[in-house]
Homo-oligomer: A and B are copies of this chain.
Amino acid sequence: MRQETINRIRKFRDERDWNQFHTPSNMAKSIVIESGELLECFQWSEDDYDLQHVKEELADILVYCQDMIDCLNLDADEIVNMKMDLNEAKYPIDKAKGNSTKYDKL
């Protein structure tokens, strides 16, 4: 996300005094709640989904992820790169190529 978009999320939260509700635990709950709503778009069919609804639910998750990053003072690029280091080690290309098997079964 662009800095401008991140700033909008922060301004929205600050103007409503919602930082008080944004504990890490509440953010984790919120992300899973919104993820369930995203999954609901695919509850009965993999292919026949309402794209506008999908966009809204995915956006809700992105907003709560940003809120969680903020309330823990994290940096998105830093944590993603740290995790990608781990993922690259867990899923070597030669073993994982074309294969959806979980790393502990590879």
Residues of A within 8 A of B (CB): 1-2, 4-5, 8-9, 12, 15-18, 20-21, 23-26, 28-33, 35-47, 49, 51, 54-56, 58-63, 65, 68-69, 72, 74, 76-77, 79-84, 86-88, 91, 93, 96-100
Contacts and interface: CB of A to CB of B under 8 A. Distances in A.
SS of A interface (majority): helix
Contact of A32 (B5, B32, B74, B83): B32
Contacts of A55: 74, 79, 82-83
18 contacts: A5-B76, A5-B77, A8-B84, A9-B84, A12-B87, A17-B98, A24-B46, A24-B49, A25-B42, A25-B46, A31-B35, A32-B39, A33-B39, A35-B61, A36-B37, A45-B100, A56-B79, A63-B84
